[in-house]
Amino acid sequence: MDIFSADINCCTEEMLQIASKELYKKGYVKESFIKSVIDRERTNPTGLQVEDLINVAIPHTDIEHVIHPTIVIVKKNDQSFFTFHRLDEPDKVILVSVVFLLVVKEPSGYVDFLADLTGLFQESEFINLLLINPANLIGAKLVEKLSKYELTYKGDLINEKP
């Protein structure tokens, strides 16, 4: 499975739009994925507060919009955060450091991956890695940490720098 990183200094919905449009251009998702993932985040938000250690988000949508599974690690590179609504209390918002955009084709594979990814949150070293490092280093590290998924780090999702 391919894994990308991206630095996108935009608000949440614009970030999701930019990332998923790029995934569509590269042939990983159908065009319908773009609207679907944004709508899904509105109705079933995915902001996840991991104790008081870090806030992440795991946007995703139905498998019917997916062609090839992939993951995109998104961060802002200006030290600011994305605003997400909370998965457990959708009325509340949190400031998110790292976004894992999950593009998954098999529902069971999704659960496996999510279990292993959130399992890594138990390691304080991994939390620090997420907080301190840019998206590309996190992408490279995940390849090593989640080796059973045979991830291939494909670099920056958005080649053209703004």
Partner 1 sequence: MEKKYLIYVACGSAAASASLARRRLIDALNARNIDAEIEIHRITELPGQIEARKPDVVIIAAGQTPASIPENILVVKGIPLMTGFGIDKLVDDMLTFLKNKEG
Nearer to partner 1, 124 or 159 (CB): 124
3-state secondary structure the chain: CEEEEEECCCCHHHHHHHHHHHHHHCCCECCHHHHHHHHHHHHCCCEEEECCCEEEECCCCCHHHECCCEEEEEECCCCCCEEEEECCCCCCEEEECEEEEEECCCHHHHHHHHHHHHHHCCCHHHHHHHHHCCHHHHHHHHHHHCHHHCCEEEEECCCCCC
Nearer to partner 1, 118 or 133 (CB): 118
Task: Give residues in contact with partner 1 (CB under 8 A).
Answer: 43-44, 46, 48-51, 60, 62, 87-91, 107-108, 110-111, 114-115, 118-119, 121-122
Name the minimum Å distance from CB 159 to partner 1: 30
Name the minimum Å distance from CB 109 to partner 1: 11
Nearer to partner 1, 51 or 160 (CB): 51
Nearer to partner 1, 31 or 62 (CB): 62
Name the minimum Å distance from CB 44 to partner 1: 4
